[in-house]
Structure 1
Amino acid sequence: MAAQTQLSRTTVREALKTLEVQGLLSIKPGRAGGATVQRPGSHLVADAVALTIRGREAGRSRLIEARQAIEPFCSKLAAGVRDCSDVAAMEEANESMTVAENVASFRRADAMWHVAVVYASRNQLMTELASGLLAVDEEAETPEFVDHETRTSVLVAHRAITMAIRNRDCAAAEREMARHLQSDARCARA
């Protein structure tokens, strides 16, 4: 491979190791070994999205705009195809938010709930895109979650969306998620 690419063996070896770490290659050492292309894991899209956003230093308002484009649609899809385990995951995340003793645990449970909704859509690409957005959004400083009133309103919104998804009400799930994220956008601008 070094001869074909006119690169040094060290450069080729490092490139192959990088691709292996990313899960794109499997390297078998020895004379009978070599590099085999692997099917990329689902995390690669989410990781690439998150890396791109971090590299461009997109502000929280841009993250919320992207989420506003994806999550209401995923909520609508979820209401149509969800199963009992999806609703249980959403309810578990809501319960974790209810008992959260600090902002960090509240935010983790909030992210878990959003991931559960998107996952319930059964749209793998949307799930990976949203997961990347949510990973970066979870890292952002969000002072708006500090006060009890905001945390309560987030829980009320989550419960309304969860109920719409449980009831298979696609229009209500989409509408309520859009309303919830619009409220989130207002808080982020404040």
Structure 2
Amino acid sequence: MSQPPDPPASAAAEHPFTAVRVTRSFDEVVRQLHEGLLSGRYSPGDRLPNERELGELLRVGRSTVREALRMLELQGLVEVRPGRNGGIFVAEPSGRNVGDALETLLRFRPPSRAELLEFRVSFEGETAWWAARRATPEECERLLALAAAVAEAAAGGAWEQLAEHDVAFHEAVAEAARNQVRVAVMQAINHPLREGVMAMGAEADASVRGAVADDLQAIAEAIRDGDSDGARDRMREHVERNPAFGQPQT
């Protein structure tokens, strides 16, 4: 297949892309576009060159450019809009994108229960500490409502219902911490967390159910009262009490 012609000098100077001259052109196109988008040259909402123009700048075929753009769109870096006013635009960064990428990694390389516990004890404890400093009255009400829902499920509901409310509570604490990195990480570990909580169902007698409900009530109250140290300590105790995760690695 013949290479597209060299782009005009003025066009090449406007963008951080150079001709691709390696065997694995697709990987190189993705790399250049990725680095160009993260270089600070572009802002969210900026329009990028179209497929033909990118092909000329990179000296690859449009099909290669199109596949690379699909990859970047899945990563949440670009948005391809159809129609007369469409085009290729730089996407607004989102913690959800980060969480999705990390979740995918954890699904392919699942952490052990001990590894997840070790991480959660410190991470969620500190997240609760920040939530106690930053939570709005509305967020505190949501935490108290979720704690009450867990208590209701613990008193006679299905374990699956309790587990869903429990996971939602941990996500709500992260949101109350007002830190998009913490929210993204919490969303990323949502799947292994849910699996761990669900695994407790077979051995979760009334005392275990009651302990989970009491823990979340204490955490929610500490956050509502602005008791950062208390929220952190109660969260750490709650995570460490979970028998589904075994003991942390030393």
The one of 8, 13, 16 equivalent to 2:69 is 16
Deviations 1:94-124 (A, max 9, x none): 2222333322221110011111111111122
What is the 5 A alignment of 1:1-190? 1-29=54-82, 33-100=86-153, 101-140=157-196, 142-146=198-202, 147=204, 148-184=206-242, 186-189=243-246
TM-score w.r.t. length of structure 2 = 0.68
For structure 1, list consecutive stretches of 5 or more residues without a partner in the other structure: none
Residue type at the aligned position of 2:55: A
Supply the distance in 2 between the matched residues of 1:110 and 1:125 (Cα, whole angstroms).
Answer: 21
Is the contact between residue 81 and residue 120 of structure 1 (CA under 8 Å) also seen in structure 2? yes
Supply the distance in 1 between the matched residues of 2:217 and 2:133 (Cα, whole angstroms).
Answer: 17
Supply the distance in 2 between the matched residues of 1:60 and 1:152 (Cα, whole angstroms).
Answer: 23
Supply the distance in 2 between the matched residues of 1:165 and 1:141 (Cα, whole angstroms).
Answer: 23
SS in 2 for 1:35: strand
Residue type at the aligned position of 1:117: V
Is the contact between residue 67 and residue 133 of structure 1 (CA under 8 Å) also seen in structure 2? no
Supply the distance in 2 between the matched residues of 1:87 and 1:25 (Cα, whole angstroms).
Answer: 36
Supply the distance in 1 between the matched residues of 2:85 and 2:231 (Cα, whole angstroms).
Answer: 55
Larger radius of gyration: 2
Q: RMSD over aligned Cα, in angstroms?
A: 2.2
Supply the distance in 2 between the matched residues of 1:61 and 1:145 (Cα, whole angstroms).
Answer: 19
Name whichever of 16-25 and 90-99 sits farther off: 16-25
Name whichever of 67-76 and 26-35 sits farther off: 26-35
Supply the distance in 2 between the matched residues of 1:126 and 1:141 (Cα, whole angstroms).
Answer: 20
Report how far residue 26 of structure 1 moved.
2.0
Is the contact between residue 145 and residue 151 of structure 1 (CA under 8 Å) also seen in structure 2? no
Deviations 1:15-34 (A, max 9, x none): 21332344321224468753
State the percentage of identical aligned residues. Answer: 28
Q: Which has the higher contact order (CA 8 A, sep 6+)?
A: 1
Q: How many residues align?
A: 189
Name whichever of 117-126 and 107-116 sits farther off: 117-126
Deviations 1:8-60 (A, max 9, x none): 32222122133234432122446875311111222011112211111212122
Residue type at the aligned position of 1:55: F
SS in 1 for 2:80: strand
Name whichever of 60-69 and 72-81 sits farther off: 60-69
Supply the distance in 2 between the matched residues of 1:37 and 1:173 (Cα, whole angstroms).
Answer: 39
Relative to 1, partners in 2 of residues 1:86 and 1:115: Cα closer, same or farther, differing over 3 Å?
A: same
Is the contact between residue 127 and residue 173 of structure 2 (CA under 8 Å) also seen in structure 1? yes
